[in-house]
A and B are shown apart, each in its own frame.
Chain A
């Protein structure tokens, strides 16, 4: 039996499989299918300082082996998360990854400071949401802005700070370097790729917000490429995500440079996806005589 434990910024994950923010709510629903304690960590729905309503429907469109979404960060606000959801999640032997967003540098710093004092294990700062009008993506696409917002957050962060990067940039390595030089303890990528679909009968966009974020198996090769480039460019651990479905996908993402992974859209097709993929990963390691999952990270041969 291979050792699945991963030390991620000083926080031990029992295995490298976590859930991608926004696809897993706060865990209640998928918790009906399996013990959430089987997961290495749970990435919760993106939180903002105040409650957000999100965008009108339709918020989802199917694409070849993927989906577009424009949820628009609907969430109850960070205070209600702390009060109502942390006690629920703490019943399980897994790590809590709090995903946070803001619309200004001050808001990002404020929410990171607040969540730091709550009982969470890791903070994932989303500077890459394509579905909100201000903030989000605008912070994640310019190195100067990335540095400004990450250093403001890092000053007040009392837990490891993961910065979640947008794939909607020309040079991902440049953005990664900006985040790390400003103090990011780790990086996660990729968030969704901006996309669009049109109903040809009505000639209208399918999504209420016209554009949305692409995720699912369709983006997997893009995600692997970006994780590889970022791993080459910086020296912090990476949570790789984007289209992972199987244990072999996890292996591939880790070989590209990820220390842990997150699974999102695959859960919609198969609610058991994260635990199934974890078992497949375990089997792969055993079959290949790999003693520890950490041996995979960056193990690509060129």
Chain B
């Protein structure tokens, strides 16, 4: 279901040098949101296109988004402050399939792919599973949301430069512990997702990946957010990240 809601900013807080946590008053969108879905936010009059941002948490009428200020749109968003009003479409897309996680799912995020895994992990825990998170960052100063994840289950943190937690990639951590898990859910750069999907496949457990693509409408009408999927005959077909995704089962994706 797509809702357009004018949301008042409750809080906008800098987590690291470039990453912000934005809390919006969004009673309608937050009550309809499911883990892994995203919102499409208008970032000022000067930019035609909205920006897709994953839902990090939705509860009590609030929507928490965690985003990196990169280009003009997200920089505009980073300058919003309490009391400002932003135009939000959501909740969009289809999120993680929570029905097939098993009792020991692992939630893996890389960099700015970490935030959407939080609500997903919390939902799994609420459903009675014993979840684990593997979170990967560039370095110690890029680590975000650690306490929130620790409150939801077991957490491994890996940094590329070894300045915090395990020195290495999330894929190294997954490979080392793969026997302990019943399923994988992940979000991050495509090469990371692909590596994780291969490890999960070799272990014979289901793997869901959250994909990224440039968007127009964000709701499935313009067909610009193409994602190469495997057709039944093995050929390529294009699904759409905003409507068929952003979450896909790894075996559907034409890597």
Contact = CB atoms under 8 A, between A and B. Distances in A.
Contacts of A67: 48-49, 216
B236 A53 contact: yes
Contacts of B228: 56-57
B185 to A, nearest CB: 23
A268 B222 contact: yes
A216 B47 CA distance: 11
A74 B229 CA distance: 14
Nearest to A52: B238
B224 interface: yes
B150 interface: no
B151 interface: no
Interface string B1-38: 11010000000000000000000000000000000000
A45 interface: yes
B2 A62 contact: no
B4 A269 contact: no
B220 A29 contact: yes
A268 B217 CA distance: 4
Interface string B233-253: 000111000010000000000
A71 interface: yes
A54 B227 CA distance: 11
Interface residues of A, number: 35
Interface stretch (A18-26, A168-176, A221-229): A18-26
Nearest to A62: B49
A53 B227 CA distance: 11
B223 A45 contact: yes
Classify chain B's interface size: 20 to 34
Given A57-B213, A268-B48, A271-B2, A71 B222 contact: yes
A69 B4 contact: no
Interface in A209-226: 216-217
Given A54-B223, A67-B48, A60 B216 contact: yes
Contact of B223 (A25, A32, A33, A65): A25
B48 A271 contact: no
Interface in B133-189: none
B224 A59 contact: yes
A67 to B, nearest CB: 6
Contacts of A271: 2, 4, 89, 217, 219
Contacts of A88: none
A69 B216 contact: yes
B42 interface: yes
B90 to A, nearest CB: 12
Given A53-B237, A66-B48, A268 B214 contact: no
A299 interface: no
Interface in B187-216: 213-216
Contacts of A265: 48, 216
Nearest to B211: A57
Contacts of A217: 48
A27 B213 CA distance: 22
B7 to A, nearest CB: 15
Contacts of B226: 54-57, 59, 71, 74
B166 to A, nearest CB: 30
A268 B220 CA distance: 11
B225 interface: yes
B48 A216 contact: yes
A267 interface: yes
Given A56-B226, A57-B227, A268-B48, A74 B238 contact: yes
Interface of A: 22-25, 28-30, 32-33, 45, 53-62, 65-67, 69, 71, 74, 216-217, 265, 267-272
Interface of B: 1-2, 4, 42, 47-50, 87, 89, 213-228, 236-238, 243
